[in-house]
Amino acid sequence: MNGSTVTEFIFLDFPGSYVTQLFLLTLVLTCYTTILVGNLLIMVTVHSEPKLFQCPMYFFLANLSLLDMTLGSVAAPKLVNDLLSNGGSISYEGCMVQIFVIHLIGGTEMFLLTVMAYDRFVAICHPLRYMTIMDRQRCHSLIIFCWTATLIHAIFQTVVVAQLPYCGPNDLDNFFCDIPQVIKLACAEIYVSEILLVLSDSVIILPCFVTLLISYATILATLCGRFGKDGSKALSTCGSHLMVVGLFYGPIVFVYTKPSSSSEVDKMAAVFYLVVTPALNPLIYTLRNEEMKEAMRKLKNKCKHLVLPGQE
pLDDT of amino acid 230: 56
pLDDT at residue number 69? 93
Return the higher-pLDDT residue of 2 and 41.
41
Residue 3 lies in a domain: no
Predicted pLDDT of residue 232: 62
In a domain, 135, yes or no: yes
In a domain, 303, yes or no: no
In a domain, 172, yes or no: yes
CATH number of the CATH domain containing 288? 1.20.1070.10
What pLDDT is recorded for position 273? Answer: 81
**Does some domain include residue 43?**
yes
Domain that holds residue 74: 8-296
What are the two backbone dihedrals, phi and then psi, of residue 90, each rounded to the nearest 5 degrees? -150, 145
In a domain, 224, yes or no: yes
* pLDDT at position 292: 82
- Whether the pLDDT of residue 200 is over 70: the answer is yes
User: What is the average pLDDT score of the chain?
Assistant: 84
How many other β-carbons are positioned within 10 Å of the β-carbon of residue 10? 14
Q: Which residue has the higher pLDDT, 152 or 78?
A: 152
| CA distances (Å), origin 25, targets 198, 236, 285 | 31, 33, 26
Query: Of all residues in the chain, what percent carry a pLDDT higher than 90?
Result: 31
Q: Is residue 222 part of a domain?
A: yes
Q: How far apart are CA 178 and CA 256, in angstroms?
A: 10
Closest to 295 measured CA to CA, from 46, 54, 5, 2? 46
Per the structure, how many domains does the chain have?
1
44-54 average pLDDT score: 87
Q: Poorest-confidence range of 11-25, 29-43, 132-146? A: 11-25
For strands 8-11 and 88-91, give the pairing: antiparallel
Q: Check residue 205 and give its pLDDT.
A: 82
Confidence at residue 276, expressed as pLDDT on a 0 to 100 scale = 87
Q: Is 310 within a domain?
A: no
Distance from C-alpha of 91 to C-alpha of 8, rounded to nearest angstrom = 4
Element (H, E) at 262: none
For residue 127, what pLDDT is reported?
Answer: 87
312 band by pLDDT with thresholds 50, 70 and 90: very low
Mean pLDDT check: name the lowest of 18-32, 89-103, 253-267.
Answer: 253-267
